[in-house]
Amino acid sequence: MASLPIKVSPGMLAIYGSGSINGIEFNVPSPLQWGIVNGVYDENGEYTLGQNVLFNIDDSQILKYQDVQYFIVPQDKITGTEDEILPP
């Protein structure tokens, strides 16, 4: 997948929608969405490229590039992050 060819402003993230890496689902329809960070202003900040995060779609601006839907989300609107669960 190609990266979104923009540099986001300070405090913003570019995210593309994906599922939970651990299979976490919502029991009812929800505006919350899992996504992978695809663009950050500062790679030494709180969020990193490839990190799976949870955000509210209502807090995002949605755009499409090369048939992939991206979300531009303020970092302070990220609801949580997901760690990959490694097998025992």
Q: The pTM is what? A: 0.86
1: confidence class by pLDDT, cuts 50, 70, 90? low
User: What is the side-by-side order of every strand in the sheet holding 52-56?
Assistant: 61-65, 68-74, 12-17, 32-40, 52-56, 78-82
Q: Can you give the pLDDT at residue 84? A: 78
E strands in 1-88: 12-17, 32-40, 52-56, 61-65, 68-74, 78-82
Cα separation, 66 vs 74, in Å, equals 23
pLDDT in tens, 28-78: 888 999 999 999 987 777 899 999 999 999 999 999 999 999 999 999 999
